[in-house]
Chains A and B, each alone.
Chain A
Amino acid sequence: MRLILRSVSVIGLALTLIPSVLVLLNAISWNLHADLMTAGMLVWFATAPGWIRSSRR
């Protein structure tokens, strides 16, 4: 379970960073980049508390 949560969290971080590189390379629009960053944020905050808390234990 923890591995799944971690993997999904990493996808959230990837959605936060990678779209901006694609904007820089003129591969996607700024609006799509902003939407993907919002999705990345939601994924991160939905999943990270689970494994960060469990790793403390």
Chain B
Amino acid sequence: MNSTRSVIERLDALYEFDREPVAGTKLQGSGNFIGIYSGEHIAGTEYVIGPLFVAHGVTAADFFLGLLVGNLLAVLSWAFVTSPISVRTRLTLYWQLRGVAGPYLTVGYCIVNALMFCFLAGSMISVSATAVGLPFEMTMPGLNDMLPNSVGWVVVVLFVGSVVTALAILGFEKISQFSKLASPWMILVFIAGGLAVLPGLGIGSFADFWRVANEKIWTGVPFPGQTKFTFWHVMFFAWFCNLAMHIGMSDMSLLRYARKWYYGFSSAFGMFLGHFIAWTASSILCAAAAGNVAPGPIAYLGAGLAGAVSVVVAGWTTANPTLYRAGLALQVATPDWKRWKVTLGAGIVTTVAAVFPALMMKLLDFVALYGLILMPMGAIIFADFWLLPKLGMKSAFAELAALRLSWPALIAWALTLTVCFALPYEIFFKALPGWFIAVGLFVALSYAQQRRQRVVVGRGNL
């Protein structure tokens, strides 16, 4: 009993500067951010994304050009949109949002946000489970499996989810150390796995690569039942697969620890060392495995035991910060709970979601949807921080006027999503027009709100 209390007290002591601006002594150097971004974007899910591009019939030229442009745009988004606001406010997204949107809307947003994070972390746990299940000859989920296909799958997912949750409870420092330790090794495993299967595809030298890439890997022909992807699909997916984190501003929770705004460029390690190389390697592995998309088996095919372990480790390093963010988000909704208790709750939801392989097999669509839903609030924060003062309006008006809910923020969020869902485009292309719609609506409605408020205040004074 005493030892239980002691553990709880120690966990309670892990409380970090979640609700206040980060203190100067807690700011961290660029190495930590390079470690986190590298670890977070060299993830188990990269073993799924490459094969899904292959399944959607991307050509080799569209694949490489799309990744180059999309990843560059993602890095610029982190550096010029997320980071400058993060280092000026030193607040998490959630506490910043509270001032802009009011506590009621923030609570609603946090619950939606945390659920999205849980599902995202769940897909990473599913990916890890495909590797953990290898020695038990577990039946792997297929491209069209939506429900769990065996008891073994359920048991393995529950085990992996428990470990990930325990690590997330330990907090930011532990996550940073773990990512920093694993990321240099993981990226080499991706590269080595991809290289080792090239002879099996008919590549004996680097000169053969482009020919075989077009003929056997990115053939331009979609798998039966899959839609055709182009350069634009690859570019927008590469840019927006972390939409919630950069333009959606949720990485304020991490970058508020940055000494300088330009640490946002450290995301390049995640985009180019991570996504670019990992998606290329996993595409090659999928082609070598004759179209198999299960991460554990294809990693084993390329790198043996080290490949299988990398899938587990890569899943953990990504799921941990994702769960950590979910814990932060839910803490706002439950202000009297300690973060470790909230993270435990989020971990349970995540693990249950991970039992369903649909989360992993429909990853491209889910990632695009998740970014789209959260993006408008990032646009609102951007407009509130930069545009409203330049237009003669007050930032964080909900806080200034002691409003419980900012109706401009609520209407801008809801109307943007309504318009986006109605747009006759594929989900990958809805977010860009959506950002401009959200900014425009919020500025216009804020103008109306603040002018009305001034009139009311003026009459009161008379």
A→B interface (CB under 8 Å) = 12-13, 16-17, 19-21, 23-24, 26, 30, 33-35, 37-38, 40-41, 44-45, 48-49, 52-53, 56
Q: A9 CA to B98 CA in the complex, in Å?
A: 46
Which residues of chain A have C-beta atoms less than 8 A from B305's C-beta?
34, 37-38, 41
Q: A26 CA to B199 CA in the complex, in Å?
A: 8
Chain B 169-202, CB within 8 Å of chain A: the 1/0 string?
Answer: 0000000010011001100110111111011000
Which residues of chain A have C-beta atoms less than 8 A from B181's C-beta?
45, 48-49, 52
Minimum CB–CB distance for B104 against chain A, Å: 41
Which residues of chain A have C-beta atoms less than 8 A from B307's C-beta?
37
Q: A15 CA to B258 CA in the complex, in Å?
A: 34
Q: A36 CA to B6 CA in the complex, in Å?
A: 44
When the two chains form their complex, are residues B195 and A20 in contact, meaning their CB atoms are under 8 A apart?
yes
Query: Which among A21, A24, A34, A56 is the interface contact of B306 at CB below 8 angstroms?
Result: A34
B303 contacts A by Cβ under 8 Å = yes
Chain B 299-318, CB within 8 Å of chain A: the 1/0 string?
Answer: 00001111101000000000
B135 contacts A by Cβ under 8 Å = no
When the two chains form their complex, are residues B198 and A16 in contact, meaning their CB atoms are under 8 A apart?
no
Chain B 254-272, CB within 8 Å of chain A: the 1/0 string?
Answer: 0000000000000000000
Minimum CB–CB distance for A53 against chain B, Å: 7
When the two chains form their complex, are residues B192 and A37 in contact, meaning their CB atoms are under 8 A apart?
yes
B→A interface (CB under 8 Å) = 177, 180-181, 184-185, 188-189, 191-196, 198-199, 203-204, 303-307, 309
When the two chains form their complex, are residues B191 and A17 in contact, meaning their CB atoms are under 8 A apart?
yes
When the two chains form their complex, are residues A41 and B306 in contact, meaning their CB atoms are under 8 A apart?
yes
- With A26-B204, A41-B309, A52-B177 as known contacts, state yes or no: A13 contacts B185, CB within 8 Å: yes
When the two chains form their complex, are residues B199 and A23 in contact, meaning their CB atoms are under 8 A apart?
yes
Query: Which among A35, A40, A53 is the interface contact of B177 at CB below 8 angstroms?
Result: A53
- With A26-B199, A34-B305 as known contacts, state yes or no: A19 contacts B188, CB within 8 Å: no
When the two chains form their complex, are residues B192 and A20 in contact, meaning their CB atoms are under 8 A apart?
yes
Which residues of chain A have C-beta atoms less than 8 A from B196's C-beta?
19-20, 23-24, 30, 33
Minimum CB–CB distance for B421 against chain A, Å: 45
- With A37-B303, A48-B181, A52-B177 as known contacts, state yes or no: A16 contacts B195, CB within 8 Å: no
Q: A21 CA to B309 CA in the complex, in Å?
A: 20
Minimum CB–CB distance for B302 against chain A, Å: 8
When the two chains form their complex, are residues A20 and B193 in contact, meaning their CB atoms are under 8 A apart?
yes
Query: Which among B188, B204, B309 is the interface contact of A13 at CB below 8 angstroms?
Result: B188
Q: A16 CA to B182 CA in the complex, in Å?
A: 13
Which residues of chain A have C-beta atoms less than 8 A from B198's C-beta?
24
Which residues of chain B have C-beta atoms less than 8 A from A52's C-beta?
177, 180-181
Q: Which residue of A lies closest to B200 (CB)?
A: A30
Which residues of chain B have C-beta atoms less than 8 A from A49's C-beta?
181
Which residues of chain B have C-beta atoms less than 8 A from A56's C-beta?
177
Q: A17 CA to B307 CA in the complex, in Å?
A: 12
- With A20-B192, A20-B195, A24-B199 as known contacts, state yes or no: A13 contacts B303, CB within 8 Å: no
When the two chains form their complex, are residues B306 and A38 in contact, meaning their CB atoms are under 8 A apart?
yes
When the two chains form their complex, are residues A24 and B203 in contact, meaning their CB atoms are under 8 A apart?
yes
Most buried by B among A12, A38, A41, A56: A41
Q: Which residue of A lies closest to B29 (CB)?
A: A56
Minimum CB–CB distance for A50 against chain B, Å: 10
Which residues of chain B have C-beta atoms less than 8 A from A16's C-beta?
185, 188-189, 192, 306
Minimum CB–CB distance for A8 against chain B, Å: 13
Which residues of chain A have C-beta atoms less than 8 A from B204's C-beta?
24, 26
Query: Which among B194, B203, B304 is the interface contact of A37 at CB below 8 angstroms?
Result: B304
Q: Which residue of B lies closest to A21 (CB)?
A: B195
13 contacts between A and B (CB under 8 A): A13-B184, A16-B192, A20-B191, A20-B194, A23-B199, A24-B196, A26-B199, A33-B304, A37-B304, A37-B307, A40-B185, A41-B306, A45-B185
Minimum CB–CB distance for B149 against chain A, Å: 28
Which residues of chain B have C-beta atoms less than 8 A from A19's C-beta?
192, 196
